[in-house]
Amino acid sequence: MSTRQEGAPSPHVRSRDALVGWLADGCKPKSDWLIGTEHEKFVFQTDGLTPVPYEGERSISALMGALIDRFGWEPILENGKVIALKRPHGETGGTISLEPGGQFELSGSAVATLHDTAKETQEHFREVLCVGERLGIGFLGLGFSPKWTLAETPHMPKDRYSIMTRYMPTVGSHGLDMMYRTATIQTNLDFSDEADMIKKLRVSLALQPIATALFSASPFTEGRLNGFKSMRSEVWRDVDAARTGMLPFAFEPGMGFERYVDYALQVPMYFVYRSGRYIDVSGASFNDFMAGRLRGFEGEYPTLDDWSDHLTTLFPEVRLKRFLEMRGADGGPWQRICALSALWVGLLYDADALESAWSLVKDWTEEERSALREEVPKQALATPFRTMTVREIARDMLGIARRGLRRRANINAASQDETIYLDPLDEVAITGRTLADELIERFKGPWREDIDHVFEEYAF
C-alpha cells in the first residue's frame, strides 16, 4: 500500500472536473510509457519459522536499519518510526514499504524494459537476502500466509493501517485477512489517451482471472490445505464490496475518466492526511469534503493529494490512477515477478497484441466475467468457460503476449528479447500445473502434511 510523505501542499479541488483532469493528466505518448513492478513477500525467522515483529534484535526495524547502513537506503518516518525506505535523491531502485502484517514490499522504479525490471528485482533480493541472512530472517513468496494465525501476525506501526483495521470488519468478513495475511505481485502500466485507457482497462479486467489462475500460489491456511488454489484471490471476494471487484461499469457505454471519478466518489473515505498524521474519517464522503462539509474538517476543502490518497483506498482487480495497476496475482518466486510484468506488457504495450486481446474477450458477458472471478480461486486453470477451460484461454493469452513482446524487440546483453520472462508461465499453461498444484502435491506427498517444509524449499 502507498506510503505518504509530507511535502509542499498541492492545489485545493472544488469540482468534479478537476478530479477528472487529474486522471487525464496521466496520458503519455507511447515513447514515454514505462513499467512499474511491485512485489510483496512474507518475512519469517529462519530458526523458529515465526513471523518477524516490528521491533527487537531480529525485527523488521532491524532489517530496515541494516539496509540503511549497508546499502544506503534512506528512512521514511511516521511517528518517529521507520515505516519505509527510499533511495537517495537521483538514484533508482524504488521504495521499500511495509504491508500491515510486515509483508516486505518493493515498489520498483518506473523502467523502460523488462530487462530493467529483472535487474532491479535481482538487486533487491541480493540486498535483502544479504542483510536477512545476518539477522536470521528469511523471505517467502506466496499469496497467503501459509502457517500463522491472524492473532500471531504482527501489526506494523502505521496509522493508515490502524484506521483500516478498525473499519474493515464493518464491511466484510475477510478484510483483516487481506491486510495481514496476503501478498501479491502487481504491474503498473501507462496509457496514451482516454480511449487507450478504456481499452486497456477492459482487456485487463476481463483477463485478470486468467492471470490469477496462472499465478495461483496460496493453497494453505494455518498449516492446512484450505480448498483453494488462490486463497488470496478468494479473500478479496469479501473485503468491501464498495471498493473491490471487476468494475462492470467499465464495459458500459460512456466509460471514461468521468465515469471512474463518479465511481471513486461513491466509495467511502478512510482518512485525511495532515501534518504527518492520518486522521480517521472512515465512512465519510469525498463529495462532502469537496463541499466543505466533512465532519471535523468543516469549511476545509480537499487537495489533489487528498484525491490521490483516496484513489489508493480503492481495490478493484484493476485500479486506475494516472496509470493502470494490474492487481490479480499471488506472490511467488522472483521469476514470476518478472513474468507478471512480461504478461501485461506483452498484451497492452503493442497495438496488435492489444487488439488481439480485445478480440479474445470483447463478447464475454458480465455474468461470464463474474463467474470466472468466482470460480478461479478454487479451480485455477481447470475452471470451465463456455466449451473450454481457463487453461486454453491462458495459452491464447500467452501467445498474444509473446508476439507483443517480440515486436517490442528489446534485446539484453545476452541477445535475448523480453519473451524469456514468459517462459515460467508457458510451462504452467502447457502442463496445467500451477504453483498451487505443485505445493498441494508436495504437502500430501513428501512433506507428509508438515507445512514447515514450504519455508525450507520455497523461500527466496
Q: Is the pTM above the cut of 0.85?
A: yes
**pLDDT band for position 4 (50/70/90)?**
low
Strands 315-316 and 244-245: parallel
Three-state DSSP at 74 gives strand
Cα distances (angstroms) measured from residue 58 to each of 46, 69, 73: 10, 16, 19
Angle at 315 between CA 352 and CA 233, to 5 degrees: 80
Structure confidence by residue, pLDDT tens digits, 423-446: 999 999 999 999 999 999 999 999
Q: Is residue 82 part of a domain?
A: yes
Query: Rounded distance, CA 451 to CA 344, Å?
Result: 32
For residue 123, the domain's CATH number is 3.30.590.20
Q: Is residue 272 part of a domain?
A: no
**pLDDT band for position 9 (50/70/90)?**
confident
Q: Is residue 9 part of a domain?
A: no
Residue 122, pLDDT above cutoff 70: yes
Q: What is the DSSP string of 332-394?
A: --HHHHHHHHHHHHHHHSSHHHHHHHHHHHTT--HHHHHHHHHHHHHHGGG-EETTEEHHHHH
Q: Is residue 246 part of a domain?
A: yes
Q: Is residue 7 part of a domain?
A: no
Q: Is residue 294 part of a domain?
A: no
Cα distances (angstroms) measured from residue 93 to each of 5, 149, 207, 327: 18, 33, 29, 21
Structure confidence by residue, pLDDT tens digits, 371-391: 999 999 999 999 999 999 999
Residue 255, pLDDT above cutoff 70: yes
Range of the domain at 59: 16-267+314-457
Q: Is residue 300 part of a domain?
A: no
Residue with cell 513428501: 446
Residue 363 region by backbone torsions, left for phi larger than 0, else alpha for psi between -120 and 50, else beta: alpha
Q: How many CA atoms lie within 13 A of 208 on its CB side?
A: 29
Number of structural domains (the chain) is: 1
